[in-house]
Amino acid sequence: MSEKRRDHKNRLLRTGESQRKDGRYVYKYVDAHGKTTFVYSWTLVATDRTPRGKKTDISLREKEKIILKELEDGIYLRTKNLTVCQLYHQYTRYKANVREATKLGRLQLAKALKKDPLGHTLISRVKTANAKEWVLRMNQHGYSYQTISNYKRSLKATFYMAQQEEYVRNNPFDFPISDLLEDNRKPKTPLSAVMEKNLLTFLTTDKVYRKYYNDVVILLGTGLRISELCGLTIKDIDLDQRLIHVNHQLLKNEKNKYSITPPKTAAGIRTIPMSTLVHEAIHSLLNQRKSNLGITTFLFTTRNGQPRTAMDYASIFRRMAKKYNKQHPQEILPIPFSAHSLRHTFCTKLAHTGMNPKALQYIMGHKNISMTLNYYAHTNSDMAVNEMKKHLT
């Protein structure tokens, strides 16, 4: 029977353990990929003193305990060398079938991770405390509550994948963001009837912004998303039947490339009837376009005939609201004012008329009825009293 190995202190060594001539301990094992691997330490057990001049580290037996636990759990040690950036890249590759807007958001998060220490941290070393520090840093760098919340949700999903693949045991992003940041998002406010009337009057008289009168009328009268409005072509308009067919949207990426994609959700494919005011606005636009129909079939274009984009309108509406509010200090537009403010106003108005929620859900292109029902909550005491009176006997 062969004699068991002993270290320089005459202690019995376990299977896989050995000690080199310089006193360093070695543990040899086969990892989850079948590769022979070695780990080293200057001490065998936690109570040993590290030799003078050598780097302090946990003992060999402590390392063995971690390794055996991870092999038992099936956690691949090779994947522990992934950084957060690399893990996020893997996550986005595995879930590549997403819309253009989602891809753009992923690019933004990837850039933010590259600039932050968290992105270069090994996933095995990311703890909840690290994730919380990241949230605070993002806030200090000026990212909005909504953006941080979206990014955190993406990273939580990324680490959930890592858990499923058994790269890590715990998800460091599994905590409520409200523990760290106050939700400072301003509630969405629809335009009042007075605001809406004043805005349209302003647009008919202002020398700079009157050219956007028809755009605002159509947004107020259809509830279209701005990307859907930008994507409207002449073929989508049925003036005879007074219908707008929505089956795509126009996006523009960071490289200034246009793309036509399906609406935000499958529910976004819909047909919207035109009011008299919307019909007149579209008829007016088509008459203006007769001279340059050969350039593009898009309904909303810039001076050089290029399709107008959501980014264009964001700038337009920001400047428009600033000028309008100076002239109407008693009835200022909600800030930030955007195309979505008009969509919000449209939906709230129809909800107040008592329109069937499912019908309104279809017109809005909402995926979930809960999104539509939220607009029915924008009511005041008079509306509630009048609504109840209708049902009293």
Q: Which residues are tagged catalytic?
A: 225, 264, 340, 343, 366, 376
Specify whether the CB–CB gap between 3 and 46 falls below 8 A. Answer: no
Which residues is 248 bridged to in the sheet? none
Distance CA 321, CA 338 (A): 9
Distance CA 218, CA 229 (A): 9
CB count in 10 Å sphere of residue 181: 16
CA angle 11–16–19, rounded 5-degree value:
50
Distances (CA, A) of 273 to 20, 110, 237, 241, 365: 83, 41, 10, 8, 13
Distances (CA, A) of 109 to 82, 106, 257: 17, 5, 20
Specify whether the CB–CB gap between 228 and 263 falls below 8 A. Answer: yes
Closest CA to 378 of 228, 190, 248: 190
Closest CA to 222 of 237, 205, 235, 204: 237
Place of tokens 């905590």: 175
Closest CA to 149 of 124, 100, 190, 184: 184
Tokens of 388: 């109840």
